[in-house]
Structure 1
Amino acid sequence: MFLDNIQSELITSSIVLVIFLIIRYVLKIFIKKIGQQSGINDARIGLISRYTTVTLFLIFILFIAYIFGAEFKDLAVIFSSVFAVIGIALFAIWSILSNITSGIIMFFSFPYKVGDKIKIHDKDAPIEAIIEDIRAFQLHLRQDNGDLVTYPNNLILQKAVTLVQKDAIEDFGDMH
């Protein structure tokens, strides 16, 4: 008897679930295709896929709540309260959020890839190194002397960066 009362909601929820699973599948393929075309490593592609899945899940929950009778004003109050609490809690760790956001931006528009030698023009601590890994929060850079430098994603987007040409590296090696 209870199931009879919510049968239409269950059918609608099932349809929405199938639609979201299809969207998730298509987005994962799209993200993987963009990542591979850009020469991005699989770990970074997986990270962006997880971000996308979490976002889709939250949207799915919103749809399901609406299907089962929650009104927009009720949902708005709940979400604004949740986001206010999250915003206050995360304000203290804005740097982490900044690095995650920068990691997402870098996934879609970073012109460098693993294996490229770059020069970061920082007046206090200039760095010239090879990109070993691009992670959610930082780049791993290997300097010529073997030192590993972790460089925050948010800073790499704020600094001027030059790609050191491979020919210039080889010419430089011939000179020594």
Structure 2
Amino acid sequence: MLNFLKTYQQELLITFIALVLLFIFQSLLKSFTTKAGNKASINIARIHLVMRYINALFIMVAVFIIAMVWGANVNQIVLIFSSVFTVIGIGLFAIWSILSNVTSGVIMFFSFPYKIGDKIKIHDKDFPIEAIIEDIKAFQLHLRTTEGELITYPNNLILQKPVSLVEKDAVMDDGVSNL
């Protein structure tokens, strides 16, 4: 064990420093995301969803850095990452709408002007909707019409259609609509 520590002392030290720095940067980014979400009154579940995306990103970066520190060839690492992302890309191409909705969900986390409880109108010539935002999920919005009908509306479409605010906070604290 001592022989291992002595032989790989530099690699162990660099790995430790890199992981500590990544952890600090990840914590700062999570703190920023939480503050931005709380400032914009975003649902805690959506904040946690974005945190999972941040965790996945930092895990990939950590694996890349550790592989570099321990002597993996850059060409080998690039080949592995590009192969993995190619397979994932081909798989996601078949289900591109899911990726589109997740990406739209992240965009909406930071810039969507409407909140849960707001009554909105989606100006779609084929299927106009006027409803209260009941929940904002990773893939879709849950909208409740005045008739009580639940509509799940894809996140990517909500960013493509004109939307107007009909009434701010249309749902009271006890869950009963002000309509």
Q: TM-score surpassing 0.5? A: yes
Match of 1:44 among 38, 43, 46: 46
Aligned to 1:141, the other structure's residue is in SS state: strand
Q: Secondary structure at the match of 1:118?
A: strand
* 1:148 corresponding residue in structure 2: 150
Look up the match of 2:37: 35
TM-score using structure 2 length? 0.89
Instruction: State the partner residue of 2:104.
Output: 102
State the shift of 1:90 in Å: 1.4
Q: CA deviation at 1:73?
A: 1.7
Aligned ranges for residues 85-96 of structure 1 at < 5 Å?
Answer: 85-96=87-98
Q: Return the offset for 1:15.
A: 0.8
Distance of 1:17 and 1:84 partners within structure 2: 27
What code does the residue aligned with 1:89 have? G
Written as runs of structure 1 = structure 2, the 5 A alignment for 1:16-95 is 16-95=18-97
Aligned residues: 166
Q: Give a deviation string over 1:74-100, Cα, whole Å, max 9, x none.
A: 211111111111111111111110100
How many angstroms apart in 2 are the aligned matches of 1:165 and 1:81?
49
Seq. identity, %: 60
**Aligned pair 1:130/2:136, yes or no?**
no
Question: Mind listing any 5+ residue stretches in structure 2 that lack a counterpart?
Answer: 169-179
What is the rounded CA distance, in whole Å, between the counterparts of 1:165 and 1:86 in structure 2? 42
Partners in 1 of 2:167 and 2:103 — Cα distance? 28
C-alpha displacement at 1:3, in angstroms? 3.0
Name structure 1 gaps, 5 residues minimum. 167-176
Quote the Cα distance in structure 2 between the aligned partners of 1:97 and 1:75.
Answer: 25
Q: 2:16 aligns with which of 8, 14, 23?
A: 14
Structure having the larger proportion of residues in helix: 1
Distance in 1 of aligned mates of 2:85 and 2:23: 25
CA RMSD of aligned residues (A): 1.0
Normalised by the length of structure 1, the TM-score is 0.91
Q: 2:121 aligns with which of 119, 122, 142?
A: 119
How far apart are residue 71 of structure 1 and its match?
2.3
- CA drift at 1:165: 3.7
Structure 1 counterpart of 2:37, one-letter code? G
